[in-house]
Amino acid sequence: MNHGFVKVASAIPLVRVADCMYNVEQIESLVIQAEGKGTEIICLPELSLTGYSCGDLFGQQLLLDEAEMALIQLMNVTRSLDIISIIGLPVPYRGALLNCAAVVQRGKILGLVPKTYLPNYKEFYEKRWFQSGADVPEGTVLICGQQVKVSTNLLFSTPSCVFGVELCEDLWAPVPPSSRLTLMGADIIFNLSADTDAVGKYAYLQSLIAQQSARCICGYVFSGCGFGESTQDVVFSGKGIIYENGIMLVEAKRHQFTPQMLEAEIDVERLRNARRMNTTFASCATQNEGQCTTVITERVPARPFSLTRIIDPHPFVPTGKRLDERCQEIFDIQTEGLAKRIQHTGTQTVVLGISGGLDSTLALLVCVSAFDKLEMNRRGIVGITMPGFGTTDRTYTNAVNLMKLLGITIREISIKEACLKHFADLGHDPEQHDTTYENGQARERTQILMDAANQMNGFVVGTGDLSELALGWATYNGDHMSMYGVNASVPKTLVRHLVSWVAERTKDESTRQTLLDIVDTPISPELTPADDQGNIAQKTEELVGPYELHDFFLYYLLRWGFRPAKIYLLARQAFGQAYDDATIRKWLRVFCRRFFAQQFKRSCLPDGPKVGSCSLSPRGDWRMPSDASPTLWLRECDELG
């Protein structure tokens, strides 16, 4: 359903302590609003029908009876609604009083989940009124005219997800109930809370939920009591948060005096895929097998679906301060990987082709960083510029200037005569600018680099990036080959930022300006002649499509295993008006076709450092047969519309 998305809500109603009828009216309003927005499951705070701050009033039969009557009223109001509501109330059970979450749908109570861990320290005094759900036997209770299961081991199965429930302090336990529930199959955890406020406590709560949702690879929906609960020495600020696998999707504004409701779509398909790929999760589930009762919810008709969550169009490129931190980390990983290879081989020389483009520039900057850290002379870095039939003045000048400014050894070896001789030997017309014409130049350049490395007792540093490897945009046994590929797991969209990042931290103004001009240069292999004005005529993105689209496709195919239809849905949401639907469909099909057709190039890649969650190394993250059929993927691309 809905490409694996489940729309959930965390609601914070207005509350009057001990006024159950007022409270249920506030809850009803929020539930109806959520239903109108297509929400499947809504969670409200702990003891939301009575209020959490009732104190010894929990011992009053009138309050308990009124809470049950309020629940009956809510069931009646929502009898015709498909939405599942999770509400907090006190429930008498076998001589004890339990702090429970009631899961309600279409006039039926699907189950009651009691709180396991009762805080009894500082401002909390719950053991005075309640019993832990772990201390009473599972069973049923007659409530609202229904026999309802009472258990801390309940899972609720809907057509689109499986969810579990825990209450407030449960999350603070060393091993929260949600750990067990997720291992037993829960995709989403709902937490009904009455968390008091104090300086720094909200940040701590965020870290708890982030860690728990990441560790359990789950969605986590938290709903905490708000303004109406504040009394005596404690303030309740209304904490509402929705997380997905360690990432916050949305949060409420705290200290509001009005009701709040926040919604988000949790990607259950993504969570399940992550669990399947994480064999540790499966092993842990096997070793911690327990007994849970699964409650099947009402099967409801499919509803119109509209994705509202923000989809980042550049998933490899964070924003703000995180971008600076990410660039530093990636550059350090590349540097360390190359430094280790230099140290291991005992060489004093590395060789790389310098074209004046982004990829070779980043590779050169990594070489300089590695040599500096190893306290080696930069003259051991040999940059070879190899002008060809498509080399423009702009890229040639930038290549030479950058090498001079960085103080490395410069060699210039033109490939024109060698390629013309090669074409003559083949009987190929050099005016025919086809694959032979282009690949012949790429292989000639690689031969020069390899032989020069032999000549100087060094090794060749590769410059190709992750995006090129995904599309197969490399000449087999040409720029596809090296002794160590420092950019092999860096996507093109991030290469540009890395070069800019280095430029902004470069003290020498001439070096900085050269790097920034390289960043602004159109991406091109420069294998066909320039135009009449001497500008680059062969622009990669006009041939294979925009790299920002291809990197987006790659991320969701490789990292999450999504099918084309879902990737298309996400791309439309992410790129908005930047690309029309037909353009996205066109390049998505190109990506799928090329990704399958070019696997043979990836099956024999040289070593290179893994820097992120996506890698196409045949020794690491990606093992795919070179002859796998793309039929299923291309068929779904053709069915998009």
**Catalytic residue from among 40, 46, 66, 126:** 46
Pair (448, 555) in one structural domain: yes
| pLDDT bracket for residue 144 (50, 70, 90) | very high
Tens digit of each residue's pLDDT (9 = 90 or more) over 353-364: 999 999 999 999
Q: Does 340 qualify as catalytic in the annotation?
A: no
**Banded pLDDT at 508 (limits 50, 70, 90):** very high
- Pair 240, 381 in one domain: no
Answer yes or no: 168 catalytic: yes
The pLDDT, as a whole number, for residue 47 is: 96
- Widest pairwise Cα distance in the chain: 100
Q: Residues 261-287: what's their mean pLDDT?
A: 92
Predicted local confidence at residue 206, as pLDDT: 95
Query: Is a pLDDT exceeding 90 seen at residue 9?
Result: yes
| Single residue among 231, 261, 296 that ends a domain in this structure | 296
Q: Is the pLDDT of residue 550 over 90?
A: yes
What is the reported pLDDT for 229? 84
pLDDT of residue 105: 96
- Same-domain pairing of 379 and 515: yes
Per-position DSSP letters for 486-521, written without gaps between them: TTTT--HHHHHHHHHHHHHT-S-HHHHHHHHHHHHS
Same domain, 236 and 115: yes
- Residue 188 makes CB contacts below 8 A (sequence gap 6+) with 6, 8, 41, 161, 162, 163, 164, 218, 219, 220, 221, 266, 268
User: Is there a domain that residue 314 lies in?
Assistant: no
Does 327 lie in the same domain as 290? no
Q: What is the mean pLDDT of the segment spanning 1-16?
A: 92
Name the more confident of 270 and 235. 270
Residue 15: its pLDDT value, please?
Answer: 93
- Three-class SS state of 222: strand
Q: Is the pLDDT assigned to residue 1 strictly greater than 60? A: no
> Is residue 445 domain-resident?
yes
The mean pLDDT value for 341-370 works out to 97
Q: Do residues 103 and 165 lie in contact, with contact meaning Cβ atoms separated by under 8 Å?
A: yes
Examine residue 64 and state whether it is found in any structural domain, yes or no.
yes
Cα separations in angstroms, 527 against 134, 419, 459, 508, 538: 71, 12, 25, 32, 7
Structural domain includes residue 574: yes
Helix (H) or strand (E) holding 607: none
**Gap between the Cα atoms of 554 and 619, Å rounded:** 19
Give whole-number Cα distances, 255 to 204, 226, 237, in Å.
17, 7, 5
pLDDT band with cut points at 50, 70 and 90 for residue 536: low
The CATH number assigned to the domain holding 519 equals 3.40.50.620
Query: What is the C-alpha radius of gyration for the chain, rounded to an integer number of angstroms?
Result: 31
| Mean of pLDDT values over 213-234 | 89
- Whether residue 344 is predicted with pLDDT greater than 80 in this model: the reply is yes
With bands split at pLDDT 50, 70 and 90, how would you rate the model's confidence at 537? Answer: low
Mean pLDDT value of segment 163-184: 96
Residue 383 sits in the same domain as residue 489: yes
Mean pLDDT, range 65-87, rounded to an integer: 96
Structurally, the chain folds into a number of domains equal to: 2
Kindly state whether residues 282 and 357 are assigned to the same domain.
no
- Asked whether residue 562 carries a pLDDT value surpassing 80, the answer given is yes
pLDDT band at 112 (very low <50, low <70, confident <90, very high): very high
The answer to whether 76 and 90 are in contact (CB under 8 A) is no
Contacts for 301 with CB less than 8 Å, ≥ 6 apart:
82
Residues 380 and 421 grouped into a single domain = yes
What distance in Å separates the CA atoms of residue 548 and residue 41, rounded to the nearest whole number?
A: 35
Q: At 94, which CATH number?
A: 3.60.110.10
Shared-domain flag, residues 51 and 169:
yes
Closest C-alpha among 465, 464, 466, 641 to residue 553: 466
Integer Cα distance of 479 and 449 in angstroms: 10
Full domain range(s) for residue 332: 321-639
DSSP secondary structure of 79-142: TT---EEEEEEEEEETTEEEEEEEEEETTEEEEEEE-S----STT--GGGT---GGGS--EEEE
91 domain residue, yes or no: yes
Checking if the pLDDT of 577 tops 70, the result is yes
Query: What pLDDT does 354 receive?
Result: 97
Q: Give the per-residue pLDDT at 196.
A: 82
Whether 176 and 191 have beta carbons less than 8 Å apart is answered as no
Q: What is the pLDDT of residue 176?
A: 96
Q: Is the pLDDT of residue 534 over 80?
A: no
335: Cβ contacts below 8 Å, ≥ 6 apart = 366, 369, 370, 373
Say if 92 falls within a structural domain.
yes
**Euclidean distance between CA atoms 466 and 622, whole angstroms:** 12
Q: Which of 263, 296, 329 is the last residue of a domain?
A: 296
- The predicted structure's pLDDT at residue 416: 95
* φ and ψ of 399, to 5 deg: -60, -50
> Is residue 164 located within the same domain as residue 244?
yes
Is residue 100 left, alpha or beta, with left meaning phi > 0 and alpha meaning psi from -120 to 50? beta
In a domain, 309, yes or no: no
Q: Catalytic pick from 115, 149, 239, 566?
A: 115
344-359 mean pLDDT: 96
Task: Write the pLDDT tens digit of every residue in 411-456.
Answer: 999 999 999 999 999 999 999 999 999 999 999 999 999 999 999 9
pLDDT of residue 231: 76
Query: Quick one: which of 404, 520, 382, 554 has its CA closest to 451?
Result: 382
Q: Do 228 and 329 lie in a common domain?
A: no
Of all residues in the chain, the percent with pLDDT exceeding 70 is 98
pLDDT tens per residue, range 285-298: 887 777 788 999 98
Of the candidates 50, 54, 48, the residue with the CA atom closest to the CA atom of residue 232? 54
Closest CA to 247 of 560, 615, 467, 571: 560
Q: Are residues 137 and 215 in the same domain?
A: yes
**pLDDT attached to residue 527:** 62
Known catalytic residue at 614: no
**CA 216-217-220 angle, 5° bins:** 80
What is the model's pLDDT at position 530? 67
Task: Please give the mean pLDDT across all residues of the chain.
Answer: 93
20, 168, 225, 367: which one is catalytic?
168
Which burial class, exposed, middle or buried, applies to 15 when counting CB atoms under 10 A from its CB (0-12, 13-18, 19+)? buried
Of 524, 519, 570, 525, which is closest to residue 549 (Cα–Cα)?
Answer: 570
SS3 letters across 394-411: HHHHHHHHHHHHHCCEEE
Quick one: which of 98, 85, 89 has its CA closest to 163? Answer: 85
Q: What is the pLDDT of residues 486-503, one digit of tens each?
A: 999 999 999 999 999 999
Q: Classify residue 556 by its DSSP letter.
A: I
Residue 186 phi/psi, 5-degree rounding, is -70, 130
Average pLDDT over residues 271-280: 93
Q: Over 70: is that where the pLDDT of 473 sits? A: yes
Query: Domain boundary at 279, 296, 313, which?
Result: 296
In a domain, 302, yes or no: no
- pLDDT (mean) for 62-87: 96
| CB burial string 398-427: b at 16+ within 10 A, e below | bbbbbbebbebbbeeeebeebbeebbeeee
Please count the other Cβ atoms lying within 10 Å of the Cβ belonging to residue 139. Answer: 12
